[in-house]
């Protein structure tokens, strides 16, 4: 179990830096401090390692959306969801880049999970948000594009970390300022009169 965890952690570093196509078993072995045959003892190959990481990631990635409570206060629920996604960008940047890399390649290994896991959850939560809009509990927004906007603005801090660091300075921690900005921006959007 320890060696599998070491391999997966090393592979997460390699895949998040080089993408699936740019990653090699040799790079993963070097990062893990193990031999390539040792890697192949635990996994069938690069694709097996990548699929394992993506499968583990999918549940983690969906959890913040799962937590959106249809019976909660709509504005609070959405703003809390934004905070959870921003916290993930801070705490799991490698995982965010792994996910983004897979999507940018057309989701060749994750496509079935998107259909079977993400799509039904996404549709369910969009229906919840649409119901809140219809009841006048929040401003009328397009639920699908609201969620896309949340993903784009929160995951940006992980997926474009290098750019954020250059623009804000290497000693800057953008998390608190980003949180205040996103809470104010989306709070205003959700409160706007139509």
CATH class of 1-43: mainly alpha
The enclosing H or E element of 99 equals: helix 93-104
Domain 54-191: what homologous superfamily? Answer: Tetracycline Repressor, domain 2 (1.10.357.10)
pLDDT in tens, 87-144: 999 999 999 999 999 999 999 988 888 999 999 999 999 999 999 999 999 999 999 9
Domain residue ranges in the chain: 1-43, 54-191
Per-residue pLDDT at 78 exceeds 80: yes
Look at phi and psi of residue 48 and say left if phi exceeds 0, alpha if psi is from -120 to 50, else beta. alpha
**3-state class (DSSP) for residue 174:** coil
**3-state class (DSSP) for residue 134:** helix
CB of 138 closer than 8 Å to CB of 193: no
Per-residue pLDDT at 158 exceeds 70: yes
159 CB-contact burial (10 Å; exposed 0-12 / middle 13-18 / buried 19+): buried
* pLDDT reported for residue 165: 92
pLDDT in tens, 19-41: 899 999 999 999 999 999 999 99
Output the six-digit token pair for 75. Answer: 């504005």
């Amino acid at each position: 179990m320890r060696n599998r965890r070491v391999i997966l952690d090393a592979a997460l570093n390699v895949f998040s830096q080089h993408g699936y196509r740019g990653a090699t078993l040799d790079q993963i072995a070097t990062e893990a401090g193990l031999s390539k045959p040792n890697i192949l003892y635990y996994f069938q190959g690069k694709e097996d390692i990548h699929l394992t990481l993506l499968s583990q990631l999918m549940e983690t990635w969906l959890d913040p959306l799962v937590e959106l409570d249809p019976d909660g206060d709509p504005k609070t629920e959405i703003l809390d969801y934004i905070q959870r996604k921003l916290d993930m960008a801070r705490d799991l940047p490698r995982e965010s880049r792994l996910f983004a890399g897979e999507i940018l390649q057309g989701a060749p290994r994750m496509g079935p999970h998107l259909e079977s896991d993400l799509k039904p959850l996404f549709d369910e939560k969009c229906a919840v948000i649409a119901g809140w809009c219809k009841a006048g509990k929040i401003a009328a927004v397009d639920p699908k594009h609201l969620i896309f906007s949340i993903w784009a603005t929160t995951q940006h801090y992980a997926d474009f970390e290098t750019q954020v660091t250059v623009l804000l300075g290497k000693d800057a921690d953008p998390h608190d300022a980003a949180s205040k900005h996103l809470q104010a921006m989306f709070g205003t959007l959700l409160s706007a009169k139509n």
